[in-house]
């Protein structure tokens, strides 16, 4: 299959390497990787490695590179939009401007700033019914995907036939791809788990132990589920790969950027310096405020999210915010 991967960050590069590598599937795909930055393209071309994200992983010889969006999708049978949520709308507009009809799948996780819209809502506004579209999500660290290690993902689309067809193309023995029609549930799980991961990092950074982490993940899943169902998602989605699965991975894995933010907040570091040194997008930081505003407007209780927001937006010391969370009135456990 001819695939354009739009976005040469960590996840985009990892997917491009995986999809174009003969070791990851019985027959590799024809893949072109797009970066909007001409200087980044020159660096990738010269060294055949993404120094910023994957210095230890050479780009496959078959992987083509470009900084022209229209050139990237010119012959593509599928476009994978792997940019942060903040860049999704602009990238979709760029695709439409190229006047090329191509199915689109996005891999971003979060709510759009200010509008608090999920990616599929942004896509509907910008892409309409031009071509089939959907979201690819699930527990997957980019580095492990690039290494060809086993992973399981979910491809959600309102077009069931499209989802099954693309899932079959992307599915391998090392990269299992399931399908779903629950875009709201899949996207909500992917967005809010990043916020909970920051809280998990704070808890770990304070030395609260595994018991506290397990409790936080469990109650974090309850928050995700409450909001997701209110938005129209399905309960079973939150118990699956894009809910519990993605949450567990990002709250426990050392490769989680959002967890690393929490660890450093617990150490008393200032958020701006953390983000500058991190060098990668930590979506939970940008998503937390939108999630909290949305939950309050819909009268959904999300105490962990509120605690994270008080730390990253209001400057409340991490220890004080966590103590306030722990000292909440006991109640019956519910979702």
DSSP string, 163-215: HHHHHHHH--SSEEEEEES-HHHHHHHHHHHHHHHHHHHHHHHTT-HHHHHHH
Length of the chain: 335
In a domain, 79, yes or no: yes
Alpha-helix runs per DSSP H in 253-297: 257-266, 271-278, 283-297
In a domain, 50, yes or no: yes
| Interval 126-179: pLDDT, tens | 988 778 999 999 999 999 999 999 999 999 999 999 999 999 999 998 999 999
| Interval 42-83: pLDDT, tens | 999 999 999 988 888 999 999 999 999 999 999 999 999 999
Which CATH number covers residue 65?
3.40.50.720
Enumerate the active-site residues. Answer: 193
In a domain, 186, yes or no: no
């426990």: which residue's tokens?
A: 252
With cut-offs at 50, 70 and 90, classify the pLDDT of residue 277: confident
Range of the domain at 288: 192-326
With cut-offs at 50, 70 and 90, classify the pLDDT of residue 27: low
Which tokens go with 119?
């990616």
What does each C-alpha distance from 238 to 100, 160, 184 come to in angstroms? 35, 20, 11
**172 and 304 part of one domain:** no
> How many structural domains is the chain composed of?
2
Q: What is the 3-state secondary structure (H, E, C) of 16-73?
A: HHHHHCHHHCCCCCEEEEECCCHHHHHHHHHHCEECCCEEEEECCCCCEEECCHHHHH
In a domain, 17, yes or no: yes
**238 and 146 part of one domain:** no
**295 and 221 part of one domain:** yes
In a domain, 334, yes or no: no
With cut-offs at 50, 70 and 90, classify the pLDDT of residue 26: very low
Which tokens go with 248?
């567990």
Angle at alpha carbon of residue 63, lines to 58 and 65, rounded to 5°: 100
What does each C-alpha distance from 271 to 21, 47, 155, 284 come to in angstroms? 37, 33, 33, 12
């Amino acid at each position: 299959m001819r695939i354009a991967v739009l976005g040469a960050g960590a996840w985009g590069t990892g997917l491009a390497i995986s999809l174009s590598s003969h070791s990851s599937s019985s027959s590799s795909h024809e893949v072109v990787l797009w970066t909007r930055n001409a200087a980044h393209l020159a660096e990738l071309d010269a060294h055949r490695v993404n120094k910023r994200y994957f210095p230890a992983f050479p780009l496959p010889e078959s992987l083509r590179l470009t900084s022209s969006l229209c050139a990237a999708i010119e012959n593509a049978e599928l476009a994978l939009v792997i940019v942060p949520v903040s860049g999704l709308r602009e990238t979709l507009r760029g695709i439409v401007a190229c006047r090329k009809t191509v199915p689109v799948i996005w891999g971003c996780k979060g709510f759009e700033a200010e509008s608090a819209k999920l990616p599929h809502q942004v896509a509907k506004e910008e892409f309409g019914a031009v071509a089939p579209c959907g979201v690819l999500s699930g527990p997957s660290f980019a580095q492990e995907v690039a290494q060809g290690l086993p992973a399981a993902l979910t491809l959600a689309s309102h077009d069931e036939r499209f989802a099954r067809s693309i899932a079959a193309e992307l599915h391998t023995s090392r990269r299992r791809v399931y399908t779903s029609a629950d875009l709201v549930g899949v996207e909500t799980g992917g967005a809010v788990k990043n916020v909970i991961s920051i809280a998990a990092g704070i808890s770990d950074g304070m030395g609260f132990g595994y018991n506290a982490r397990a409790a936080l993940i469990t109650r974090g899943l309850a928050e995700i589920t409450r909001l997701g169902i209110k938005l129209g998602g399905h309960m079973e989605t939150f118990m699956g790969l894009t809910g519990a699965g993605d949450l567990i991975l990002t709250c426990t894995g050392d490769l989680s950027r959002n967890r690393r933010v929490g660890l450093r907040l617990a150490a008393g570091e200032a958020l701006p310096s953390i983000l500058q040194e991190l060098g990668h997008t930590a979506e939970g930081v940008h998503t937390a405020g939108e999630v909290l505003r949305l939950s309050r407007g819909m009268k959904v209780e999300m105490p962990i999210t509120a605690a994270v927001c008080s730390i990253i937006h209001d400057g409340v010391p991490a220890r004080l915010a966590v103590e306030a969370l722990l000292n909440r009135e006991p109640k019956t456990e519910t979702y």
